[in-house]
Amino acid sequence: MAVKVAVSGFGGRMGRALAEALELAENAELSAALVRPGSSLVGADAGEVAGLGRNGLAILDSLEHADFDVLIDFTAPQATVDNAAYCAAHGRPIVIGTTGFDTEQKDRVLANAEKVPLCLASNFSTGVNLCFKLLETAARVMGEDADIEIVEAHHRHKVDAPSGTALSMGEVVAETLGRDLDKVAIYGREGQTGARERDTIGFATVRGGDVVGEHSVMFLADGERVEINHRASSRLSFARGAVRAALWLADDNAVRAPGHYDMRDVLGLN
């Protein structure tokens, strides 16, 4: 029997990509498509909105009317806080790809992991999560002798910076080196900044055009440089990863205990 998957934020780019990924999945189906209350899409056919042809599934504005086994949420921080609380109250696993949380919002989201399995990741791409493992190795081998800089680029519509993925990359490197990212991160430079301090991790952000997502982490030592890069050409890579995570959480043959998981758990990389 196919796993019933609800998708919140269905009117956005990722919502449509998730609909396509679910169409391609053999053992999952789109059972509910959700948008914010007041949206002009409420009541429209989800298949038509996603460009996949009519499927008879009317778009909803509330989880209370949705039939689902697991929710995939790519929305905005406050909406995700509310959706995670609903899932916890009703015993439904949730996959979260929303970024831009403040500390309080993230704590409120993760508190729900005490009741249900919750997969929160800054990026659901298989390639990006492989990069996280490569960054651990690079940081162990070169991190103490190299300057570390992270550059990311996204489309003009992205509202948070640096990207959640860039921050996760910085966290992986900092944790491996025993550093506190909150203390060593440098977000952009301007004017007379002085010489670079070795322990810092620099971030640079580019916004423009229709760039799906590009990330580069540079380990710059005297006489050599190592770069670990990832470039996404389609949101479908993120969507298929999120569907994979949803199926992993809802797997009847390996029931997941309540807890906070990430995509590296799904891929067996942790």
CB atoms within 10 A of CB 124: 30
pLDDT band at 1 (very low <50, low <70, confident <90, very high): confident
> Each residue of 183-192: pLDDT tens digit?
999 998 999 9
pTM of the complete model beyond 0.85: no
Active site residues: 154, 158
CATH number of 126-232: 3.30.360.10
pLDDT band at 270 (very low <50, low <70, confident <90, very high): confident
Rounded CA separation 260/270 (Å): 13
Contact 241, 125 (CB under 8 A): yes
122, two tokens = 């800054």
| C-alpha triplet 79, 81, 85: angle, nearest 5° | 115
Domains 3-120+235-266 and 126-232 agree in fold: no
Rg of the Cα atoms in the chain = 19
pLDDT band at 252 (very low <50, low <70, confident <90, very high): low
The domain made up of 3-120+235-266 has a fold known as Rossmann fold (3.40.50)
Among 205, 232, 217, which Cα is nearest to 176's? 217
Kindly list the domain boundaries of the chain, sorted by start residue. Answer: 3-120+235-266, 126-232
Contact 86, 203 (CB under 8 A): no
Rounded CA separation 2/67 (Å): 13
pLDDT of 27 strictly over 70 = yes
CB atoms within 10 A of CB 233: 10
> Each residue of 46-71: pLDDT tens digit?
999 999 999 999 999 999 999 999 99
Among 211, 200, 196, 207, which Cα is nearest to 148's? 200
Stated as kind and residue range, the H or E segment containing 216 is: strand 213-221
Give 30's strand partners: 5
